[in-house]
Structure formats: structure tokens, C-alpha cells
Amino acid sequence: MIYDHRTYCCRPGTIKKHLALYAEYGFPAQKRILGAPVIYAQVETGDVNSFVHIWAYEDAADRAARRAEMAADPDWQAYLKKSAEAGYLISQTNEILMPVDLEG
């Protein structure tokens, strides 16, 4: 299992607008292809203009296949266009996390 940890930062004052846009247009397509996220959360301290989501995959090949499917999905493409036009996002950071076996 691997985890794709993503942090997005919005322009100040736009995070609620972005999350509403994503909930209506992005999340349905993403959830259909990637499944439910492990977590989808808004940051409460630190950079409060940020939100984080984590997606689980069997391995790198599973991640690549599902992300390629999502990239080709017309509903996802429509969301990306709407998101770009809105201009709420200013940065994105992705990290692949590998679980550590502390007992083995």
C-alpha cells in the first residue's frame, strides 16, 4: 500500500469557494475512479488557506493506472477547466508515503 498525500493552497478568502467547486464538479469524478480518500481535511492552524487529501493505492502501478484513467475522464477534465478559470489555487505539493512496519 502507498499513500498519495496532497496539499493545496488557495488564495486568501477563496478556500470555501474552491471546496464548493470541487464538491460539485471534481469530487464525484475523482471518487468514482480513485475511491474514497483516506482523508480530506482543511487546515485549522498554520496556513489556514490550505487543505489536504490522502489517497490510498495498492502500489505505484495501481496509482499510475487510476490517475491516467482520471486524467482521461471528461468529467474530471471539465472540473480542471472550471478550477483553472476560477483561479483559486496557488500551489500544490504531492508526496508519496510508504507505510513503515514498526513491529516487524
Q: What is the pLDDT of residue 61?
A: 97
Q: What is the pLDDT of residue 98?
A: 94
> In terms of C-beta density within 10 A (0-12 exposed, 13-18 middle, 19 or more buried), how is residue 24 classed?
exposed
Count of alpha carbons within 13 angstroms of residue 22, beta-carbon side: 17
Contacts of 95 by beta carbon, 8 Å cutoff, 6+ apart:
4, 5, 6
**CB of 102 closer than 8 Å to CB of 9:** no
Query: At residue 104, does pLDDT exceed 80?
Result: no
Structural domain harbouring 35: 2-94
Q: pLDDT tens digits for 69-100?
A: 999 999 999 999 999 999 999 999 999 999 99
Does 60 fall in a domain? yes
Percent of the residues in the chain that have a pLDDT greater than 70, as a whole number: 100
Does 102 fall in a domain? no
Q: What is the CATH number of the domain that holds 13?
A: 3.30.70.100
Please state the domain count of the chain: 1
**CB of 69 closer than 8 Å to CB of 35:** no
**CB of 83 closer than 8 Å to CB of 11:** no
- CA 39 to chain centroid, in Å, comes to 10
Does 99 fall in a domain? no
Q: What is the pLDDT of residue 103?
A: 87
Q: Which pTM was predicted? A: 0.89
Average pLDDT over residues 30-52: 95
